[in-house]
Structures are given as structure tokens and as C-alpha cells.
Structure 1
Amino acid sequence: MSRLATATKLLTVVVICSLLATGVVVGFVRGAPELSASLPDNRVAAGEEVTLAVMLTNAGELETMSTTNPELNQRVLTATGVSTQLRAGDAPLSVTTGRQSVGSIADGGERAVPFTVSVDKDASPGTYRLPLRVAYMHTSEIDEGGGFSRSQTVERTLSVTVRVVEQARFAVVDTEADVGPASVGTVSVTLENVGSEAANETAISLDSLDPDVRVGSSGTSSQYAGAWAPGQQQTLTYVVAATETATNATYPFRVTTAFDDDRGVRQTDASSVVGVEPQTDRQFVVTDVESDVAAGGSGTLAVTLRNDGSWTNEATLALRSAGGALAVDGGDASTRFVGDWPSEADRTFTFDVAAPPSTAGGTYTLDAAVDYRTDRGADASARPASIGVAVVPDPDFAVRDPDVSMTVGEEGRVRGTVVNRGPTPARNVVVVISSPSPNVRFTETTYALGDIETGSTAEFSLDAVVAPTAAAGPRPFDVTVRYEGPSGADRQSTPLQFRGDVVPQPDRLAFEAVNASYGIDTSNRLSVRVTNVGDARLEDVRVSLATAPPFTSESPSAFVSALDPGETATLGFELSVSEAAVESTHAVALNATAETTNGDMIRMEPSLVAVTIAEPSGPGGDTAFVVGVAVLAAVVIVSGWWWLRQ
């Protein structure tokens, strides 16, 4: 062998040893998952339906492993696409859940798979084996170098053990109802423990499956029964309310039993659905109603009821206002205690009933409900009886033939007739009038009419003043009728509206200034001729100046006792012109009032007269003052010269 060949072999040996030392060896990873099944809670009882949680556990095994890539080891140990199906086998039960898909279970993992089983009612206690069919896939071999892999599908039959144990079971053996439509009564349910074991801390729940019948206040109610021996029967009573639409049909209720078994574990017996027919022999009939209630007031209601059913214990009558239209003893409802109420016996009750001010006349409904105690000691209510209460209506008022006589700036009147169209008389009637117009002011806003019988009328008349600044045209008026109603309470009608025209003020007085020309800074007499240009006599004519700068007046008023049509009188006023005035023609305003022969006050619109301010034609004013001073100075000088000469 040459040296070269020997060296080559040695090199090969060294490389192989190095690869072995570093672990880089190319080979196959082989292994398989190993599934097992268990049932941790395997107790069931005869006649029950329960869900069993089957636990699948994977404890895989490796034949050859990868030291460089642990993920390959986990891959060959994982079961994928796992599905399982539980079967009854020879056990006295049926499996109601079909095949279950589980997914993947890695090595060391576990999954809980639920199955619902229904145990036969006559199942014998004992231990039974249930077959569990399991199917899955896994990768059985992986080539580390080339990536090649091989997969397998596995189907296996495992088993779990179930124990049928002795346990309490309950069955409904009887029901009884004491409830009718639109009433509150009771439903009694009798149950028997048909199981082989006693139940402890037992509670029975009842809930309605129909909206027309409600158990308790929340729709369900529970009764405590305590310890319950096998073969023992107990009757439990529940308060039940039936709606107005409930009929004497059979309504479904669900009965559920919860208890502690012999190990102290809380168990729930399978719910039972029972049919109950709402019915009752309790019936109370209204035989007589008397009332004197009037709209807007109060009165007494006497109502008589007869017990058309069986003897009733501890009865109480509750009278309620339907819709709150009437108040009973000051509230929405009021009660009267009756006690024992024999069959066919009448009872009469009295209540104070009030009709609010907004109440209209007519018949209103009150509900009379009788509450009582059943033979089993439960509180119940009979179907309410409706009571019709007649409320005496209010009088009905209207305004006929309204007459509005008004003139701008003058006093006027509103007249009309109030008629009572209602079925009841009105006492102490008072008319109240108003107008939204700010320029119409009534001297008195009320007018007493006294009593107005049904169909009768009464007239009213109210004085008003229209402002001089008002515009002519239609005006709205409201009349409210206050009165004492049938109940004696003070009432008032809704506003009765009508309209009337305010006519323009006619020309009555004409004014003319006489020689009204004055100098600056002077005090003068202003003469004004006033003429009655109307067609009626005017009395107590009063005229006043409404001065403004540059005028003032120390005597701005004048009076004429009377002016016949066409008659003229001259009035005098003091008028001063300020020193700051300028030459011009100015307007001076005159305000005038008068009375007609029938006493109506007239306020006329302001009238204007022309006044001229001009310089006087001769010396005057400041010029006259200067001339006077000069003359005085001359006299003083002459007198002094004469005295010196002496």
C-alpha cells in the first residue's frame, strides 16, 4: 500500500469520527402516538340524561430520535385529525351524541370530549364498559436528510367505564290549580321520590312555559322540601298570576328538582313538564253602584258585591282606578278588609272618589279585586270586577250675539249673552273678559251673572277704553266663565273666543291759533279757537298744551263746559319763547278730552297749531335796552354839569 492510499484512509476515518463526535448523522426519525381514554366522573343514575366528559390522553413512543431537530420527534408523536365515537355497548343507556371531531393531540397532551347519554329509567346499578372508537393520523417516519416522510391512519377501539348508581328520582303524580283569568291564585304540585336513595336539601322549582301565566313575580319560584325519602310524596304550592287573555286551557309548567346525594354532591333531576288548567270557583259580582261624584269635585261611591263562589277566608277588597282618571280615597287605590265572606253573601263598601279638574263628565271604570287566602294558606286574588262610576258633567257655556262697540281713543263696551248648554245648572256664575291687545283696557274685567239653569241665558256688559294711539281694526276677545260646579267646587270654562272691530275716531274738534306770532325771549298769550265739528254735543272739554323747546308754559290748560255742533270758543294759554329760539314757524301740540252726553270719555289724537317766532318791527329786545342806557347816561352827564356850575 502506498503512502498516499494510507493517508487517504486515515483522513476518511478522522472525518467519520468527527461527524460522530458532533452528532451530525443523517438517518430516520421513527415513532407513534399512543392514545388512551378515561372517564373521571363516571357516575350516572337511572332515568337521567347527563353529559360525560371522556378524556383522551397521548403518551407517544419514539423508536429512533433526532438529536439535532426535536420538532421532528414531536411530529411523529402527534395524533392529527382525531375523531371519536362513544357507543353504549351492553350498558343500559343510549348515547345521543354522534362522532366528535377532536383535532390534534400532541405528545403528553389530553383533550376532553363531551358525550350526552340517556340512562334507562329501569337501569340496574352496576359497572358497564362503553366502547370508544378512535381514529387518527400520524407521521410514522421522517428522513432527516432528504425530507421524506411516511404517514399512517390508525383506527382503534378503546373503552371507558361507567357506573350506574342508586339515586333519588322524582316524578309528578298530581297537580291542582286555584287560579282563573286575570287573577292571582295558586298551583299545587305533588311529587314522589321514585328513586332508590334519599335526597337531602331538596328544592323544587316551578316556572311557566306560557306568557299568559306567570309564577311568582319573576316568572319562576322555588320551594324548599328538605330531606326526601324514597317512596315519599310531598305537595308544594306556588303563587301564580294569569293574564286577562288566559283561558281555561292547559298551560305547561316545568318542574325541576335539585338535591344533595349521599356523597353531598349537588344533583339536578331531569325537568318534568306538566300541564295545569287555570280555573277557580272564586267569583265576585257587582250588584249595585251609587255615586254622587261631579266633574272637578269629590263625592261618595257605594258599591255592593256578591260572592258567587265558595266560602272565602281573610278577604280584602281593593278598589283601583283604571288609568288614574279618578282618585280613590285620595290615591290610585284603596282597600277594605272583609274577613270571612260566605258564599252568596253581599257586602257593601263606601269610598271617597274625586274627579280631577280636567275630568269631563261621563262614566269611568274602577276595578274591584278581592284578595283572599287559599285553603293551603297562600295569598290569591280573584278576577277583578269592573265598576262603572257616573261623573256628573260640567255645564257647557257659549257666548251668543257678542256686540263690540269701540272707537279709537274713546270709551266703549262689550256686550254679550252667556248660555248654559250643559245638562247641569251653574251657580254663582261670573264672566271674566280679556283681550290680548295692549291698546284695549277694560275698566272692570269681571261681571257677575248669578245662577244659570240648564238652557238658560244671562247678559253681560263691560266697559273698556281704547288708547288714542291704537289702530283701527278687528280685535280678539276671550270670555272665561267661572262658576260653582255640581260638586260645590269652583270651576271655570275654557276661554270662549270672539272678535269685534275697533273703528277709527271721527273728527270732533278743530283748533286754530289766533295771531300766533311772537318775539324771541318773550312771554305771551296764545289764543286758540276750538270748534265742535262733529254732530253731537260735547261736554267738559279740556285742552292742554304739550310744549317742547323753544316753548314753555306756566298755564298750559284751558276748559270749556260744553260745545254744541258747530259752536266755537276761544281758549287762552300762556306761552313763553326762550332766548335761544330762532326765527321760524313751529308746531305746538294740543291734547283734548271731552265727554259725550251719555258720559263716555273721548280722548282725541293730538292736534297741532302753528306758532311763528319773529323779530319785533320797532325797537325792542336788546336794542331798546341799549337806547335806554344811553338816555340815562346823558341825563346823568347833564345833571352833573349843572351842579358844577352852581
Structure 2
Amino acid sequence: MRKKLITLVLVACLLVSSGAATGLVRGQPDLNATLPNSQVAPGEDAQLTVQLSNGASLDYVDARSAEATSTVTTAKAVRASLKSDDAPIEVNSGTVSVGSVPDGGLKTAQFDISVKPGAEPGTYKLPVKLHYDYTYQYDASENIISELSRTETAYVKVEVKDAPRFEVVDSKTNVSVGDTGDVSLTLRNVGSAAANASHVAVQSTSSAFAVGTSGSVSQFTGDWQPGENRTVVVSASAAGTANPAPYTFRSAVTYENEDGQTREADPAIVGVAPQPEQTFDVSNVQSELRVGEDGNVTARVTNAGPRAADHVVVHVAASADGVVPKSSEYAVGSLDAGAATTVDFPIQVSSAAESGPHQLDFSVTYQNPEGDTRESDSLPAEVPISGERDAFLVQPQDVNVTAGGSAEITLEVTNNMDEPVSNVNAKIFTNSPLSANDDTAFTTALDPDESTTMTFDVGASGSAIEKNYPLRMDFQYENAQGEQTLSDTYQVPVQVTVPEGGGLPVVPIVAVILLLVAAVGGYYYWNRD
């Protein structure tokens, strides 16, 4: 039995080999690899597109089964992998599946590579490993398929050419969040060839930190030799909503190569962060303001950075009625980042103002590096305002007047304010039974808490009874700013006394009354009939 089976197999093989079987086809695919765009540059990251073609061959075709030839000439489940061997290239892609490649067909496989920065120019062979399945024999009459797998190696050539290549080696900006300024990028030609008639186009990828007015700015950088640096400075602006974190900037260099052809290098990418928003702080706010008086408010203003500010002016505005800055600006000049200065504002508080805490709103204007004027956010601060006080203290010294006579009264007047006054005119006002024979007094100046004595001539009518009578007075003076000011009205008690034995004579009055009574009685007696 075993011998018979072997005989049948041998007979079948002979029939097949002699072509006696009908509907039989035999063949195999033949894959080739080519690289149409094979030029790369030292230090370049590139993508190589390998073309895979199939030039299949037929070993035997039965005349009645020509339509089945594609079965044995198609490479199926083709997988390709690129190797670097000794070339100065690193292949970053793994195995690539391209599917089936029929006879005469073309498929592509793409591979990411990195050329070493110091790669020597020249031509290098890269092996392409090909793995695929195919049908080597097909019997259509019996529907018998015989398949094989094959692994083979093809080669492609890569040419490493001299070419310029660019990196950003330094970046700077003076742009703060919410402001404009410049971005400076320094690029170096780290390639192996010159870039002639070069231009650098700088582009930002976010509108929050934008370049120029259109998002891109180009500058001419001329002929650029390997190892040389070029610095490009472009205008930029950062929105108020931007973060002080790196934003992507792309620098693309367009140039002419040694053959006069225009080329564009791979863009150099760098992160540039806008500086934090320019800010100022107000601290140590001090004042001695009072209702109805002028005073001063001092504050310490600090440039919180991040950069120096020029032409700094501090402004103040009041938020309450009756509190008015007499001068609302204080010029500082230049203020370095972290530096501070003390500002002083004269404030007028009217008599209509209310005592208690009040808010003052400070702000700072300055010029940015572009010479544009900018204004800080409002910097509110709270200041206390004390209640109204008398400008002068009036203390009676000698204020006694005898009824029916006159006397000099003496008053001690003290400057109750925190500033000196000058040309102080005092005037008194009287009502009956008091009268003023000399109603004014004058002193040239009074420092704070300084006192002086003022004398007036006051009389009292004879009908005045013994008691205190009010004497009114006010002051007209010049304050420390030279302004004429009228004080409130003061009341001073004047003591009127009646002399001993004085007053109306009682006996004469009684005698007159008795005479009047007798006269009236006699009249009625004589005229009673």
C-alpha cells in the first residue's frame, strides 16, 4: 500500500512536469525598490518615499489558463523595512505594510529618517528588507493552490549633499502681557553649505502672542556662511489674556543654493514667553486729613516689574464728594524694576465731606520700550479723614465789663491747625446790652499750637443786669498755601457786673409814686360834685 501511494505521487509529478495536466500556471513575483527623491542634508529630518515595483516572471502557462496568471505573479501582504547599515542615517520608522503588489504595479512605503549633523556628503546604499507571500503554482482544473513566503533585500541609494541648516541659538523679548514690543531671534547656520540671498520668515502660531500685524514678518539676511549667526528683530504683541509661558515661533529660511536654485530649509522652532504684565504697587499710604481742611497724602509707589519704566507719572483721583486733589499728578521720571519712590499729593477736604475712611484711586502712566504711553490698572488705597476741628482755640483771659461802663477784654488765641497761618484778622460782634468800641485785632503769624493775646474794647449799657452775655467773633487769615480763609464763628462769654450801691434809687421812686397818688386823690375830691 505504501509503495502504491509513492508511485501515484511520482506519476502525478511526472504529469505536471511534462505539462500534461490542463489549466496549470506557474510563476513568481520579482520586487524592486527605488528612491526617486534621494537627496538629504546633514542634520536634516526627512521622509523617504521608497517605490516598490513588481516585475514578475512566468515559468509555465497552460494555454487554457492564461487568465489565472495574476494569481502567481502578485506579491501579497508585502512588508518593507528600511535599514541604515553603515550610513550616517537613523531610521525612525519600523516595518511598513503596503498590501499586494500585482505584476507591473507600484506601491510606496514611507520612512522617517534623521541624518546625523556631521554626516559626510556622499552616496550611501540603504538596504530595504522585503517580506511577502505569493502563489508559485495554480492548477485551475483542480483548484489547487501552492503558496510560498519569501524574504529578500533590495537596495536604494541616498545622497547626502552639502546644505545649510538652521537652529535658533538665542531668543529674547521685551513684550509684556497686554503690551507690544520686540522679539529677537538669533539663528545659526549649522549646516555644511552657505545660504545665499537668504530671507528669514518669523511666524507665531498663536494670536495671543502675535508677530507683526499679519502673524508673520520676513527679513533679508543675505549670504550666510556655515557657523555664522544672524539676528532678526520683529515687532510683536501679547494680548491681555496671554500667559507668561512659551509660545511657539517658527523661523523659516529661504535661500539660493550653489546652483542658484531657491530652496527652503526646515523651519527652526523655538518657544518664546512674553514677560509678565507690567505692574505697580502702592503701599504705606499716610495722611492727616480733616474735614474742612487742606492736607497731604503720601504713598510709596513700587515698580513691581518685570522691566524698567520711563516717564513715570503717578495719578490720584478721589471717589468721594468733597475730597479733591489740588494736584492730581506727580512726575517720577524713570523707575527701575523693583525700585520705589514716595509721592505726595495735596488734598482739599471740604466742610461738606464726611469723616471716616475714604478711598483714593492711584494709577501710573509710563512709556513702554516702543515709546507708547501705557496706564496701569487702578490701585485703590484707603485713607482716614478725621472730623472737623476749630481752626483756632479761643480762651477768655479777662472778660469782665461793668454795667454802664466799658473795659478791655483779653482773649488768648491759639493756632489749632497743623500748618502755620499768617495775617490773622480777628473781629468781634455784639448784641445789646453789649457794644464794641474796638472790634478788631491782628497778628502777623501763628505757627501750629502757637498762642497770642488779643484785646478788644467792649461796653455794657447801664440797663444790663449781672450775668454772662455772648460775644461772637471770627478770623480771616491766610493758610500755608497763601489762600484767604474765613473761619467759623466762635462765641465767648462776657461777664457783666453791677457795681455795689448802683442801680435805681428806691426812695425817690417811692416819693414820686406817693405824690402821684395824692394828686389823683385831690382831683377826684374837688370834682366830686
Return closer, same or farther for 1:217/1:66 CA change in 2, 3 Å cut-off.
farther
1:280 corresponding residue in structure 2: 307
1:139 corresponding residue in structure 2: 135
The separation in 2 between residues aligned to 1:112 and 1:307, in whole angstroms, is 68
The separation in 1 between residues aligned to 2:77 and 2:152, in whole angstroms, is 14
Report 1:248-327 matches (<5 A): 251-262=246-257, 263=259, 264-275=261-272, 278=275, 280-283=307-310, 285-288=312-315, 306-309=332-335
Q: Give a deviation string over 1:520-574, Cα, whole Å, max 9, x none.
A: xxxxxxxxxxxxxxxxxxxxxxxxxxxxxxxxxxxxxxxxxxxxxxxxxxxxxxx
Task: Assess if the C-alpha contact under 8 Å between 2:316 and 2:362 holds in 1.
Answer: no
Q: 1:36 is matched with which residue: 32, 36, 51?
A: 32
Return closer, same or farther for 1:70/1:383 CA change in 2, 3 Å cut-off.
farther
CA shift, 1:114, in A, is: 0.7
SS in 2 for 1:145: coil
The separation in 1 between residues aligned to 2:263 and 2:335, in whole angstroms, is 45
Return closer, same or farther for 1:112/1:167 CA change in 2, 3 Å cut-off.
same
The separation in 2 between residues aligned to 1:160 and 1:265, in whole angstroms, is 27
1:491 corresponding residue in structure 2: none
Q: 2:150 is matched with which residue: 154, 163, 168?
A: 154
The separation in 1 between residues aligned to 2:128 and 2:50, in whole angstroms, is 9
Q: 2:211 is matched with which residue: 198, 215, 218?
A: 215
CA shift, 1:54, in A, is: 0.6
The separation in 2 between residues aligned to 1:222 and 1:366, in whole angstroms, is 38
The separation in 1 between residues aligned to 2:226 and 2:373, in whole angstroms, is 38
Amino acid at match of 1:132: V
The separation in 2 between residues aligned to 1:81 and 1:199, in whole angstroms, is 45
Q: Return 5+ residue gaps in structure 1 as ranges.
A: 1-23, 295-300, 311-343, 347-361, 374-379, 390-646
Q: Give a deviation string over 1:464-521, Cα, whole Å, max 9, x none.
A: xxxxxxxxxxxxxxxxxxxxxxxxxxxxxxxxxxxxxxxxxxxxxxxxxxxxxxxxxx
Q: 1:94 is matched with which residue: 90, 94, 98?
A: 90
Amino acid at match of 1:285: V
* TM-score of the superposed pair, with normalisation by structure 2: 0.51
Report 1:360-371 matches (<5 A): 370=367
1:384 corresponding residue in structure 2: 375
CA shift, 1:235, in A, is: 1.1
Amino acid at match of 2:77: G
1:536 corresponding residue in structure 2: none
The separation in 1 between residues aligned to 2:331 and 2:238, in whole angstroms, is 22
1:48 corresponding residue in structure 2: 44
Report 1:511-526 matches (<5 A): none
CA shift, 1:153, in A, is: 0.6
Q: Give a deviation string over 1:401-426, Cα, whole Å, max 9, x none.
A: xxxxxxxxxxxxxxxxxxxxxxxxxx
Q: 1:234 is matched with which residue: 230, 236, 239?
A: 230
Report 1:15-26 matches (<5 A): 26=22
Task: Assess if the C-alpha contact under 8 Å between 1:209 and 1:251 holds in 2.
Answer: no
CA shift, 1:272, in A, is: 3.2
Task: Assess if the C-alpha contact under 8 Å between 1:184 and 1:383 holds in 2.
Answer: no
Q: Return 5+ residue gaps in structure 2 as ranges.
A: 1-19, 276-305, 322-326, 344-358, 381-529
Task: Assess if the C-alpha contact under 8 Å between 1:290 and 1:303 holds in 2.
Answer: no
The separation in 2 between residues aligned to 1:91 and 1:241, in whole angstroms, is 46
The separation in 1 between residues aligned to 2:255 and 2:315, in whole angstroms, is 57
Task: Assess if the C-alpha contact under 8 Å between 1:175 and 1:276 holds in 2.
Answer: no
Return closer, same or farther for 1:42/1:284 CA change in 2, 3 Å cut-off.
same
Task: Assess if the C-alpha contact under 8 Å between 2:312 and 2:366 holds in 1.
Answer: no
SS in 1 for 2:43: coil
Return closer, same or farther for 1:27/1:246 CA change in 2, 3 Å cut-off.
closer
The separation in 2 between residues aligned to 1:133 and 1:242, in whole angstroms, is 52
Q: Which has the higher contact order (CA 8 A, sep 6+)?
A: 2
The separation in 2 between residues aligned to 1:186 and 1:63, in whole angstroms, is 73
Return closer, same or farther for 1:364/1:164 CA change in 2, 3 Å cut-off.
same
SS in 2 for 1:308: strand
1:107 corresponding residue in structure 2: 103
1:84 corresponding residue in structure 2: 80
Return closer, same or farther for 1:241/1:126 CA change in 2, 3 Å cut-off.
same
1:64 corresponding residue in structure 2: 60
RMSD: 4.0
Report 1:120-139 matches (<5 A): 120-139=116-135
The separation in 2 between residues aligned to 1:63 and 1:381, in whole angstroms, is 84
SS in 2 for 1:269: coil
Return closer, same or farther for 1:218/1:309 CA change in 2, 3 Å cut-off.
farther
2:187 corresponding residue in structure 1: 191
SS in 1 for 2:265: strand
The separation in 2 between residues aligned to 1:240 and 1:286, in whole angstroms, is 26
Return closer, same or farther for 1:275/1:366 CA change in 2, 3 Å cut-off.
closer
CA shift, 1:183, in A, is: 1.5
Task: Assess if the C-alpha contact under 8 Å between 1:291 and 1:302 holds in 2.
Answer: no
SS in 2 for 1:135: strand
The separation in 2 between residues aligned to 1:29 and 1:189, in whole angstroms, is 68
Return closer, same or farther for 1:387/1:92 CA change in 2, 3 Å cut-off.
same
* TM-score of the superposed pair, with normalisation by structure 1: 0.42
